[in-house]
Chain A
Amino acid sequence: MRSTKVIKVALVGNPNTGKSSIFNQLTGLNQKVSNYPGVTVEKKSGFAKLSDEVSATIEDLPGTYSINPSSLDENIVLQALLNPANQYPDIVVVVADVENLKRNLFLFSQIKDLQIPTILVINMADQMKRKGISLDIELLKRELDSEVILASARKNIGIENIKKAILNYKNVKISTIANIADRIDADFFKKVKETFKDISLYKSWLLITQHHNYPTLDKELLKRIKTFRVDDNKLKKMQNRETILRYQYINNILKKTYKVDTDQATGLRFKLDKILTHRIFGYVIFAGILLLIFQSIFDWTSVPMDYIDTAFSKLSEYVKNNFQEGVFTNLVAEGIIPGIGGIVIFIPQIAILFLLISILEETGYMSRVVFLMDKIMRRFGMSGKSVIPLISGTACAIPAIMAARNISGWKERLITILVTPFTTCSARLPVYAIIIALVIPNKRYFGIFSLQGLTLMILYLVGFTAALSSGYLLHKTLKVKGNNFFVMEMPNYKLPSIKNVLFTVLEKTKAFIYGAGRIILALSIILWFLASNGPTSFKNASEVVRGENSELTEVELNQKIASYKLEHSYIGIAGKTIEPAIKPLGYDWKIGIALISSFAAREVFVGTLATIYSVESDDDTATIKERMAAEINQDTGEKRFNFPVGMSLLVFYVFAMQCMSTLAIVKRETNSWKWPILQLFGMTTLAYLASLLTFVLLK
């Protein structure tokens, strides 16, 4: 036997108990996020050294109010604790918040009754005095027949005691506490006991009520479960009864051990709620915060984003100039480096967005926003909780769609997922910026309102309007089963923990880079390949062009060759193929190429046009702009990017589903190809028709 032992710990608790803070204190930066096999729920686990010989892997399970799941996230808790096959985990640490001890003990009593080693950590204990709470901890320990530790993650109190308790996992007493089975239905549970002699009673009960949430049960067990064919109504009645009895049991304990002086408890919360959910100030403050978010995403990030942009084009150039010429150098310089650059450039926006969102969530303000917005959002088939994905969507639809998970009603969640890509994500910005610069005059009204800025704002509003109205449409037409039940805890206000906020930012940014980044990178390489390879005419480009244009200088000749190559590359052929379809919108095959390639990620549009108009790849926007401005429509002799074409393109990008990674994430989140396909066709059709209308009207 090895001298080192790793203890498997599961961290469980209600949302808003500071469970993540405890996790962060226990593990520090030794944590990683991965996905549970088969589902997209993030699995957060970390590593803690308990003593010289013993360490622990700690899994931070999603926050839940009960072991009976009502969402995908909560199902993970059930699956982790109910697993009858292996003995995972060695010990469960239930984190409770001293202020909501009653509801927290509800979950604790369920887990304790599973008869796995369980200890209770009561967090935020440093605030007991201020909140007028007194607790007889010794009596509570006896009543719960468990180890109870007072802690404060924020003040780093009690963390060592938690570690000690985990070390001592083998001596944790296994017992049931609530013992209410006979009072629910004595006959029924007698039969349960007989059928599942080898499994604890509460586990058996959960197997009977929750086996549909638990896909990998072995056949023999499933057979035994099936002998309990009780109708759903009766089961639900028994569950309700269990809940009531469990609360009775907890109330009896707390009556003896827990006292709270309510006068001290509610002051600040009451005052802040009055203002933040006020029918006028509430919305004004929310609008102000939204403004701050937009301001920070677009203004504060422009410097680092420009810096990243320049750095990557310089790197590309450096590789091109300093390495041996050849396919590999080209792949690195034109495919991989710009590909990575296209991911890295969004890091500032995503980091800042999640910084702000996690502060709003940590403080408890986000629940008030949900409260304020629920009725309004419901008219559009969504829930108050849809506000978070729709705001996040202004940075990137991918994390936004993942944030829709905590919407409990399936129809509301589905609609949120389907309409979120309409919100103007940051990838549309470079496209908007260059086209607006080309076709909208740089005029100012009253000295402050610039016409270009106003156009940008209108595009954002059109995006939001499209999200809401398609939500309305889906709400009226979608026939999806499942009720949209809504219940949300309104947590108390608290100062955000800097550590938690920074960890969240780090985690989300990493998730974006590894998740979306991989797809964007892969597609950039494929696009590069398609643009730099082609049939015979592509390979003979140099001879053909030189033969036709003998009078040109070497520089001009090279540009011509590049253009010719592009036209005859695989992607050029694709552009030519779709030209008839996009001609009515005012586009030619070159724009067609940009449209196709920007399907990988919208911002690729600018880069592709830059390549098409044979601009040197130093990524000087002015030069791309000049080239685009100089481009002539061969049919009319007019400028290619005139006002109607520009507007038509803008409108196209407002509506089009131009993002492969979003489709991939929608597929994962809805677990079906039906919805991403609906999204793709619906949005593209809308984009096509709207641009057609724009072009025809303005022409």
Chain B
Amino acid sequence: MTTIANLSVGERGIIQDVSFDKVPLKLLEMGCIPGKEVELIQVAPLKDPLYIRVNGSHLAIRKETAELIQITKSENLCEVLKS
């Protein structure tokens, strides 16, 4: 298990758990919910914030928030399609 903050650009993962007590409701409402695939699209030049695609939404979140979202990495695209 790792977090979104540890993804490399282009890598994907499945959200396992969100630290609900520390993350505002808004993040969930914008699509960041467990079970959904997340892809790291771009990292800002100073390594923060992160630009992700999740549940059909494109979002920018700060690294500190990304660290609160637990994921399992998807090894490759085929596996993502299967799941």
A374 touches B62 (CB 8 A): yes
* Pick from A100, A243, A367, A376: contact of B46, CB under 8 Å: A376
A486 touches B62 (CB 8 A): yes
B29 touches A273 (CB 8 A): no
* Residue picked from B24, B34, B61, most chain A C-beta under 10 Å: B24
Mask, B46-58, CB within 8 Å of A = 1, is 1111010001111
Complex-state Cα separation, A408 to B25, whole angstroms = 13
A103 touches B30 (CB 8 A): yes
Is there a chain B Cβ closer than 8 Å to A244's Cβ? Answer: yes
Mask, A80-97, CB within 8 Å of B = 1, is 000000000000000000
A384 partner residues in chain B, CB cutoff 8 A: 49
The answer to whether residues A486 and B61 also contact, given A273-B51, A283-B45, A375-B49 and a CB cut-off of 8 A, is yes
Mask, B3-24, CB within 8 Å of A = 1, is 0000000000000000011001
A102 touches B31 (CB 8 A): yes
A68 touches B25 (CB 8 A): yes
* Pick from B28, B30, B46, B48: contact of A489, CB under 8 Å: B30
* Pick from A100, A270, A370: contact of B57, CB under 8 Å: A100
Interface residues on B, range: 20 to 34
* Pick from A243, A408, A491, A492: contact of B28, CB under 8 Å: A243
B20 partner residues in chain A, CB cutoff 8 A: 236-237, 240
* Residue picked from A240, A269, A270, A408, most chain B C-beta under 10 Å: A240
Complex-state Cα separation, A486 to B64, whole angstroms = 10
* Pick from B33, B42, B47, B60: contact of A243, CB under 8 Å: B33
Chain A residue nearest to B63 (CB atoms) is A375
Q: How many residues of A contact B (CB 8 A)?
A: 43
B56 touches A102 (CB 8 A): yes
Complex-state Cα separation, A490 to B59, whole angstroms = 5
Question: Nearest chain A CB to B42's CB is how many angstroms away?
Answer: 5
Is there a chain B Cβ closer than 8 Å to A196's Cβ? Answer: no
Complex-state Cα separation, A65 to B28, whole angstroms = 11
Question: Nearest chain B CB to A528's CB is how many angstroms away?
Answer: 50
The answer to whether residues A367 and B60 also contact, given A240-B20, A277-B42 and a CB cut-off of 8 A, is yes
* Residue picked from A102, A243, A408, most chain B C-beta under 10 Å: A243
A661 partner residues in chain B, CB cutoff 8 A: none
Complex-state Cα separation, A278 to B45, whole angstroms = 7
B29 touches A106 (CB 8 A): yes
CB-CB contacts below 8 Å: A285-339 with B: none
Is there a chain B Cβ closer than 8 Å to A372's Cβ? Answer: yes
B33 partner residues in chain A, CB cutoff 8 A: 243-244, 247
A65 touches B26 (CB 8 A): yes
Complex-state Cα separation, A427 to B59, whole angstroms = 38
Chain B residue nearest to A68 (CB atoms) is B25
A66 touches B55 (CB 8 A): no
B34 partner residues in chain A, CB cutoff 8 A: 244
Is there a chain B Cβ closer than 8 Å to A255's Cβ? Answer: no
Complex-state Cα separation, A101 to B41, whole angstroms = 20
B58 touches A491 (CB 8 A): yes
B28 touches A240 (CB 8 A): yes
B56 partner residues in chain A, CB cutoff 8 A: 100-103
The answer to whether residues A489 and B41 also contact, given A65-B30, A240-B20 and a CB cut-off of 8 A, is no
* Pick from A68, A277, A375: contact of B48, CB under 8 Å: A375
Is there a chain B Cβ closer than 8 Å to A599's Cβ? Answer: no
Chain A residue nearest to B41 (CB atoms) is A273
B60 touches A233 (CB 8 A): no
Please report whether the interface of chain A is mostly helix, strand, loop or mixed according to DSSP: helix
A371 touches B57 (CB 8 A): no
Complex-state Cα separation, A26 to B72, whole angstroms = 47
A213 partner residues in chain B, CB cutoff 8 A: none
A65 touches B60 (CB 8 A): no
Is there a chain B Cβ closer than 8 Å to A70's Cβ? Answer: yes
A66 touches B29 (CB 8 A): yes
Is there a chain A Cβ closer than 8 Å to B44's Cβ? Answer: yes
A233 partner residues in chain B, CB cutoff 8 A: 21
Is there a chain B Cβ closer than 8 Å to A448's Cβ? Answer: no
Complex-state Cα separation, A283 to B44, whole angstroms = 11
A65 touches B29 (CB 8 A): yes
B60 touches A371 (CB 8 A): yes
Complex-state Cα separation, A236 to B65, whole angstroms = 17
Is there a chain B Cβ closer than 8 Å to A1's Cβ? Answer: no
Chain A residue nearest to B62 (CB atoms) is A486
The answer to whether residues A372 and B65 also contact, given A70-B24, A70-B26, A103-B30 and a CB cut-off of 8 A, is no
Complex-state Cα separation, A485 to B23, whole angstroms = 8
B59 touches A486 (CB 8 A): no
The answer to whether residues A485 and B24 also contact, given A273-B41, A371-B60, A376-B46 and a CB cut-off of 8 A, is yes
CB-CB contacts below 8 Å: A250-296 with B: 269-270, 273-274, 277-279, 282-283
B45 touches A487 (CB 8 A): no
A487 touches B30 (CB 8 A): yes
Complex-state Cα separation, A101 to B31, whole angstroms = 12
A488 touches B59 (CB 8 A): yes
Chain A residue nearest to B42 (CB atoms) is A277
A66 partner residues in chain B, CB cutoff 8 A: 25-26, 29
Chain B residue nearest to A273 (CB atoms) is B42
* Residue picked from A68, A277, A367, most chain B C-beta under 10 Å: A277
Chain A residue nearest to B46 (CB atoms) is A375
A239 partner residues in chain B, CB cutoff 8 A: 25
B48 partner residues in chain A, CB cutoff 8 A: 374-375
* Pick from B25, B60, B65: contact of A490, CB under 8 Å: B60
B55 touches A488 (CB 8 A): no
A486 touches B65 (CB 8 A): yes
Question: Nearest chain A CB to B55's CB is how many angstroms away?
Answer: 7
B47 touches A375 (CB 8 A): yes
B25 touches A243 (CB 8 A): yes
Question: Nearest chain A CB to B16's CB is how many angstroms away?
Answer: 13
Chain A residue nearest to B48 (CB atoms) is A375
Question: Nearest chain B CB to A264's CB is how many angstroms away?
Answer: 15
A103 touches B21 (CB 8 A): no
Complex-state Cα separation, A100 to B48, whole angstroms = 25
* Pick from A106, A408, A485, A490: contact of B58, CB under 8 Å: A490
Complex-state Cα separation, A374 to B42, whole angstroms = 14
B27 partner residues in chain A, CB cutoff 8 A: 485, 487
B47 partner residues in chain A, CB cutoff 8 A: 375
B55 partner residues in chain A, CB cutoff 8 A: 102-103, 247
Chain B residue nearest to A69 (CB atoms) is B26
Complex-state Cα separation, A376 to B41, whole angstroms = 20
* Pick from A237, A283, A485: contact of B26, CB under 8 Å: A485
17 residue pairs from A and B, CB less than 8 Å apart:
A65-B26, A65-B30, A70-B26, A102-B31, A103-B30, A239-B25, A278-B45, A372-B44, A375-B46, A375-B47, A485-B27, A488-B59, A489-B30, A489-B58, A490-B51, A490-B59, A492-B58
Known: A65-B29, A239-B25; 17 extra A-B contacts, CB below 8 A, are: A66-B29, A100-B57, A101-B56, A240-B28, A269-B58, A273-B42, A277-B42, A371-B49, A372-B44, A374-B60, A374-B62, A375-B44, A486-B60, A486-B61, A487-B24, A489-B57, A489-B58
Q: Which 6 A-B pairs have the closest CB atoms?
A: A279-B45, A375-B46, A490-B58, A66-B29, A243-B28, A102-B56
